[in-house]
Amino acid sequence: MALEGLMILLWFAGAFLLRHEVARYYSTREGLPFPLNPALTALFGPWYIGGHLRADFPLDESGTAGSGVLKLIV
C-alpha cells in the first residue's frame, strides 16, 4: 500500500517538475510567459506537457530560422 502511494506521489512530483522546467525554458527563450494548465498537468501529466513542446529550429548568423532545408542539430 505504501509503495503505491509513493509511486503516485512521484508521478505528480515529476509531472509538475517537468511542467516547471518546460515553462521556464520557453519563457526565457521567447520572453513571454508559457502557460500550462496545472489541472490538466495533474490529470494527464507528461502527455499533456509533451503536446505543448515546440520544435527548436537552427538559427543562422542573423538569429532567425533559415529558409530552405531544415538542418537538424545533433
pLDDT of residue 72: 56
Name the residue with higher pLDDT: 64 or 43. Answer: 43
pLDDT at 4: 93
Q: What is the pLDDT of residues 31-54, one digit of tens each?
A: 888 889 999 999 998 888 888 887
What range defines the domain where residue 17 resides?
A: 1-74
d(CA 36, CA 52): 8
Per-residue pLDDT at 5? 92
Checking if the pLDDT of 70 tops 60, the result is no
For residues 59 and 37, give the distance between their C-alpha atoms in angstroms, rounded to a whole number.
30
% of the chain residues with pLDDT over 70 = 73
- Give the span between the Cα atoms of 25 and 74, in whole angstroms: 19
Domain total of the chain: 1
